[in-house]
Amino acid sequence: MSPAPPVASRDRLRIAIQKSGRLAEPARALLASCGLSWRESRDRLFCYGETLPVDLLLVRDDDIPGLIADGVCDLGVVGRNVLLEQDGDRRGAGKPAAFRELRALGFGGCRLMVAVPDGWSWDGPAQLAGKRIATSYPALTAQWLARNGVDAQVVLLSGSVEIAPKLGQADVVCDLVSSGATLAANQLKPVETLLQSEAVLAGPVGEFDDVRGELADLLLRRLDGALRIKHSKLLMFQASRELLPSLLPLLPDAEAPTVMRIDGEDGLALQALCHGAVTWQRLEDLKRAGARGLMVLPVEGMLA
């Protein structure tokens, strides 16, 4: 294949996301939480950005790295597993890197794992020497085998990898695992983790040299804010000044709290952004330590 063509200049940013599947809805929801909204085309493959010049292209997840490499899209939301597999594939073919991970997005979590038949006792990768490994991730599997100095045969399957041992196509599998239920249903057990994956925002290796650079920076700043507050809550309460030293240790996950004096009283009002779970238990602990008027508020947006 010839090298990627030079990226045509554009005055709108184009983001590829999965059309349907595990990453489709969370990707849209995350981008919407960054203040983006779209008008959908009739064929539902393209969404025209309304609040900002940021459009969506709805595609199969496997196509996303290639669309970035070819400059058809500027950014994409895709599993790290797909991104690294295709990067490994390009490197194997002597092509230069053409995309990279810009941010981990905190959803679509799974692991790429080697799984062996339930009956096997496992004592390490060397056990795979001369065996057949069924996988949809040949580059990542080959890299891992090479790292471990194991000579095994990689059998490429595009789907239903987990039934390959039963069908006699392979001895073991290397596949994505989240709960492990699919493996268990096929009498397989996971033994080695090759990759910890989640959905990521991917982009080209170079920088944009037109207005897309500013749009991408704006989006990344909003994304960082959105990711930071995803599980955060604003906690507010009042307390007597002398109780502060016993209350602050109960807020280990809070950013430096804002402490305000209440006019004409000895009390203080506190406001703290907590990044961990604010449970009932925690509120009760704070109350016991002297906090009054405890209030927990959702955080809608944040710009550091």
**Structural tokens at position 180:** 């492990």
Closest residue by Cα to residue 140 from 83, 88, 192: 88
Handedness of CA 283, 287, 289, 293 (dihedral sign): positive
Which of Zn ion, ligand ATP, none interacts with 110 (beta carbon under 5 to 8 A by kind)?
A: ligand ATP
**CB-CB contact of 150 with 170 (8 Å):** no
CA–CA separation, 10 vs 21, rounded Å? 29
Q: Which lies closer to ligand ATP via its Cβ, residue 61 or residue 74?
A: 61
* Contact with ligand ATP (CB under 6 A) among 46, 62, 103, 106: 62
Q: Is 62 among the residues that bind Zn ion (CB under 5 A)?
A: yes
Q: Which stretch binds Zn ion (CB under 5 A): 53-61, 127-135, 147-155, 263-271?
A: 53-61
Q: Which lies closer to ligand ATP via its Cβ, residue 62 or residue 253?
A: 62
* Contact with ligand ATP (CB under 6 A) among 112, 197, 237, 291: 197
Which of ligand ATP, Zn ion, none interacts with 136 (beta carbon under 5 to 8 A by kind)?
A: none
Beta bridge partners of 173: 115, 134
CA–CA separation, 170 vs 103, rounded Å? 35
Binding residues for Zn ion, total number by CB under 5 A: 2
Which of ligand ATP, Zn ion, none interacts with 176 (beta carbon under 5 to 8 A by kind)?
A: ligand ATP
Q: How many CB atoms lie within 10 A of CB 34?
A: 20
DSSP class of residue 63 equals: G
**Structural tokens at position 265:** 């009283």
Closest residue by Cα to residue 141 from 111, 167, 175: 175
Write out the binding residues for ligand ATP, residues 5-34 only, by CB under 6 A. Answer: 18, 21-23
The nearest distance, CB 104 to ligand ATP, in angstroms, is 12
Q: Is 103 among the residues that bind ligand ATP (CB under 6 A)?
A: no
Which residues of this protein are in contact with ligand ATP, per CB under 6 A?
18, 21-23, 60-62, 79, 81-82, 108, 110, 176, 178, 197
